[in-house]
Amino acid sequence: MQIFVGLGNPGAKYERNRHNIGFMALDRIAGEHGFGPWRSKFQGMLSEGALGGEKVVLLKPMTFMNLSGQSVSEALRFYKLTPADVTVFHDELDLAPGKLRCKLGGGHAGHNGLRSIHQHIGEAYARVRLGIGHPGHKDRVAQYVLQDFAKADADWLDDLLRGIAKGAPWLAQGKPDRFQNAVAQALTPVAPKPARKDTAQTERPPKQAEEPQDETRSPLQKLVDRFR
């Protein structure tokens, strides 16, 4: 059994924020893999189902980002699991928009949700880092992550979430490389097919121009030429 945790902030006000891309990822997985209805538990919203033959619990902490670890630690204790059974989906400033990377362990890099989880269960859990890009200066980060995705982000964001849902069974089976490949395929533009040639309209080679006739020849000469 595994727990997939999506990070974000509760409430309609934050629903489309860049900071809430972890919530969005879990919603897409739940919707496309027939998970059960969301219900309130462990200071969060929980949905249960299966991916790739593995039982998976989806958890969205409702404690606000800075206290996410409280919800995660409660779930771990209830199910008698370890940090190795946890995968956290979160926004990542250090990756370009639409990029995704899997990581095991390591620091929290200043992410408040990860910082809280570190404090409650340690760092030995897996992460799915979802690139949202960087605003360019650290003083703009707080405002940037709490802004909604721009309309121009809609296409790549939908492709990314679709790829996450498609590849989620690989992640549940402990195959992050295959999971990342599935996401990459969803983000790769489909090459346009070459135009088919209509055989009925295939151009025919131009007829060779007939040699100009010498109209100064006599009727007898013309008759002789016909029998050559």
Q: For residue range 149-199, what is the model confidence (pLDDT) as tens digits?
A: 999 999 999 999 999 999 999 999 999 999 999 999 999 775 566 666 555
Q: Provide the pLDDT for residue 226.
A: 60
Please give the model's pTM, rounded to 2 decimal places.
0.82
Q: Provide the pLDDT for residue 182.
A: 94
- Reported as a single tens digit per residue, the pLDDT across 8-47 is 999 999 999 999 999 999 999 999 999 999 999 999 999 9
Active site amino acids: 19
Mean pLDDT of 118-123: 97
Hey, where are the domains in the chain? 2-187
CA dihedral 148, 153, 154, 156 (to 10 degrees): -130
In this structure, are residues 180 and 100 in contact, taking their beta carbons and an 8 Å threshold?
A: yes
Please report, for residues 208, 211, 214, the alpha-carbon distance to residue 228 in angstroms, rounded to integers and kept in the order given: 21, 17, 16
- Reported as a single tens digit per residue, the pLDDT across 212-226 is 555 556 656 655 566
Enter the CATH code of domain 2-187. 3.40.50.1470
Mean pLDDT of 54-61: 97
Going by the DSSP 8-state scheme, the letter that residue 164 receives in this structure is H
Q: 210: which 2 tokens?
A: 């007939």
- Reported as a single tens digit per residue, the pLDDT across 136-151 is 999 999 999 999 999 9
Which amino acid type is present at position 7? L
Q: Provide the pLDDT for residue 14.
A: 97
- Is the pLDDT score of 118 beyond 80? yes
Please report, for residues 35, 71, 158, 170, the alpha-carbon distance to residue 46 in angstroms, rounded to integers and kept in the order given: 10, 10, 23, 21
Alpha-carbon gap, residue 51 to 226, rounded angstroms: 86
Q: Provide the pLDDT for residue 204.
A: 58
Q: Provide the pLDDT for residue 193.
A: 61
